[in-house]
Amino acid sequence: MKFEDIEIEDVDFGAMLEESFKKTDSKSDLVDGTIVKIIEEDNQVVIDIGRKNEALMSLDQIRDEDGEIFFKEGETIQVVITGQRGERPNVSYELAEQRAALAEFIEEYDEEQEYVVEGTITKKNKGGFVVDVSGLEFFMPRTLSYISYKVDPIGKQIKALIVKVDKDKNSVVVSRKALIEREKAETQEIVDRLLENKAVVVGTIKKITSYGMFVDVGGMDGLVHYSQISHKGPVNPSKYYKEGDEVNVIAMEYDKKKRHLSLSIKEANLDPWKNIDNTLRAGDTVSVTVSNIEPYGAFVDLGEDLEAFLHVSELSWEKNVKHPQDHIEIDQVIDVQIIEIDKQQRRLRVSRKTLLPKPIDKFASANRVGDIITGTVSSVTDFGAFLKIGAVEGLLHNQELSWEKSEPAKELYKSGDEIEVKIIKIDREEGKVSLSIKAMQESPVAAYAKDHKLGDIVEGTVKDKKDFGIFVSIEPGVDALLRLDDLHPLKEEEVEKGQEIRAVISFLDAKSDRIRISVRRLERQEEREALDKLNAEQDDSMTLGDAFGDFKRN
């Protein structure tokens, strides 16, 4: 309950009460009157009250809710003289009724019983306020009002305690201050008891707001802030509770100035993080309930006041999950695997995809390196195109488009295109599949190998120089590697791009598309060929001489 800031002045209550009522003598102005005439067109009643001039009164005062007049001319009624209109007195039947009702209340008042009333402040004067309580007018002295001078009290709804009944003056005095002081004392008693024991008490939820819940604990309301509801962290209270629910709470603190009691539900329950090592381990599989879904993932409830985060990347083995709600929905129960427990940060991370079959495993069981398959382009990048093949994606790198230089994939394909490709690599560990178009075509090296063999002498043009050797173009689309130790008698620094090189094929592997050539081996090969030729020529000369010698002897 909130109380206004108050200003209390030291006033003699007896004198003030006397001042309030001395102008109104309830006995002298209450008289019997006879209805002389009812004038409906003027909405007036003429009443004889035994004075020189007859009195006037509004006809509405003796009409019922349906507009029927419940007195007739000649009948006697009690009225209160309220003033003069010219020489005619003004009277009020309603005031007489109120006084009669008040007199009846006073007559039945039991001094041994305590009366707490609710009413509306309708008038004020120097001494205090008139409070209307179900049609009865009670007086509330200013010093017993607990109402600031800065506040206009007219129309204010209040509760007050009856502190004095004066039968002689037909008046009832009430005190708002007495009731508030008592409530303050009771409140302080409740607060002291709650804070001293720090015990768990049962409270009833009275109101739920966006920032928390107001809970009644033994006749006093306290606020459970939304951050004090669950060990999960700040939560929306309306998702977990409704008004009227009973909850266990502990009093945290009381702000006397603001008269604000702070309560906690989470402190009244065991903290699941204290003994989490005894209940959960990374790698455990648990059933959870999806409690909240965001574009970046979902929060899942493990029960026991624990919540975990399921990142969008841990929902499925699919790489392009647009939104978690495409795979799960609120309140759905799913199985997940715990992948991280951060006790210090009080954070749990879980995965759903680790419990699902890996698409790469299924793909590898149905396909082999060398298989030719058809894939659909799912996306195109600067370095190649990704093709959707069932539940997996494979990469068709730009280098695998053709044996010859060609445009990159982004210039050739668009999403949705179907392409026939060959599987050249399946990496289960990384979950990657490499694809190729050129692997389905005969390589230039394979074609070259049909007409060439080891030891063939070739001529080519220096294409590029590396630390380990020189690449020589020996035919369009066919490059050979000349290693530095095979360069002799040429010197590395003397070799330039575009230079013509003559060498011999020293290694030829069509399957791996590799050719190596050697200048050193060419020099040795040419020396050996020259020596063989010379030897052959010498053998031919000796045979001819011998022939002439034999001829002469004969």
**DSSP-derived secondary structure for 280-310:** --TT-EEEEEEEEEETTEEEEEEETTEEEEE
18 — pLDDT class (breaks 50, 70, 90)? very low
Q: What pLDDT score was predicted for residue 114?
A: 85
Say whether pLDDT at 439 is over 70.
yes
Asked whether residue 426 is domain-assigned, the answer is yes
Asked whether residue 80 is domain-assigned, the answer is no
273 — pLDDT class (breaks 50, 70, 90)? confident
First vs last C-alpha separation in the chain: 153
Same domain, 482 and 434: no
Say whether pLDDT at 205 is over 90.
yes
Q: Give the closest residue to 69 by CA, choosing from 93, 95, 33, 99.
A: 93
Same domain, 344 and 402: no
Of 380, 406, 440, which residue sits at a domain end?
Answer: 440
Q: Which residue has the higher pLDDT, 50 or 536?
A: 50
**Residue position matching structure tokens 């039968």:** 167
How many C-beta atoms surround the C-beta of residue 10 within 10 A? 5
Kindly report the backbone phi and psi dihedral angles of residue 463, in degrees, each rounded to the nearest multiple of 5, phi listed first. Answer: -100, -40
Same domain, 246 and 307: no
Q: Which residues pair with 320 in a beta bridge?
A: none
Same domain, 405 and 453: no
Same domain, 222 and 259: yes
Kindly report the backbone phi and psi dihedral angles of residue 21, in degrees, each rounded to the nearest multiple of 5, phi listed first. Answer: -110, -5
Helices (H), 367-518: 409-412, 444-449
The contacts of residue 369 (CB under 8 Å, 6+ apart) are 423, 424, 425, 426
Residues 361, 398 contacting (CB under 8 angstroms): no
Asked whether residue 434 is domain-assigned, the answer is yes
CATH number at residue 203: 2.40.50.140
Residues 249, 194 contacting (CB under 8 angstroms): no
Region of residue 166 (phi > 0: left; psi between -120 and 50: alpha; otherwise: beta): beta
Residue type, 297: G
541 — pLDDT class (breaks 50, 70, 90)? low
Asked whether residue 241 is domain-assigned, the answer is yes
Residues 409, 401 contacting (CB under 8 angstroms): yes
Residues 374, 418 contacting (CB under 8 angstroms): yes
pLDDT digits (tens, 9 = 90+) for 315-366: 988 777 889 998 999 999 999 999 999 988 889 999 999 998 888 888 998 9
pLDDT digits (tens, 9 = 90+) for 181-197: 888 777 777 777 777 77
Same domain, 449 and 414: no
Same domain, 414 and 465: no
> Structural domain tally of the chain?
4
Distance, in Å, from the CA atom of 411 to the CA atom of 398, rounded to the nearest integer, reads: 11
- Mean predicted confidence (pLDDT) in 227-247: 88
Kindly report the backbone phi and psi dihedral angles of residue 281, in degrees, each rounded to the nearest multiple of 5, phi listed first. Answer: -140, 150
- Mean predicted confidence (pLDDT) in 400-421: 88
Asked whether residue 486 is domain-assigned, the answer is yes
Same domain, 280 and 351: yes
Same domain, 423 and 492: no
Asked whether residue 169 is domain-assigned, the answer is no
Same domain, 242 and 280: no
Q: Could you tell me the CA-to-CA distances from 325 to 277, 292, 355 in Å, in that order?
A: 32, 10, 19
Asked whether residue 59 is domain-assigned, the answer is no
Say whether pLDDT at 539 is over 70.
no
Of 268, 286, 316, which residue sits at a domain end?
Answer: 268
308 — pLDDT class (breaks 50, 70, 90)? very high
Asked whether residue 66 is domain-assigned, the answer is no
Domain containing 378 equals: 366-440
Q: What does pLDDT average to over the chain? A: 84
Q: Which residue has the higher pLDDT, 109 or 382?
A: 382
- Mean predicted confidence (pLDDT) in 149-167: 86
Q: Which residue has the higher pLDDT, 280 or 552?
A: 280
Q: What pLDDT score was predicted for residue 236?
A: 87
Distance, in Å, from the CA atom of 287 to the CA atom of 553, rounded to the nearest integer, reads: 115
Q: Tokens at residue 442, please? A: 């005969």
Of 440, 464, 485, which residue sits at a domain end?
Answer: 440
546 — pLDDT class (breaks 50, 70, 90)? low
- Mean predicted confidence (pLDDT) in 443-458: 86
**Residue position matching structure tokens 């689309």:** 477
Distance, in Å, from the CA atom of 102 to the CA atom of 37, rounded to the nearest integer, reads: 29
Most confident of 116-125, 441-450, 536-545: 116-125
Same domain, 351 and 288: yes
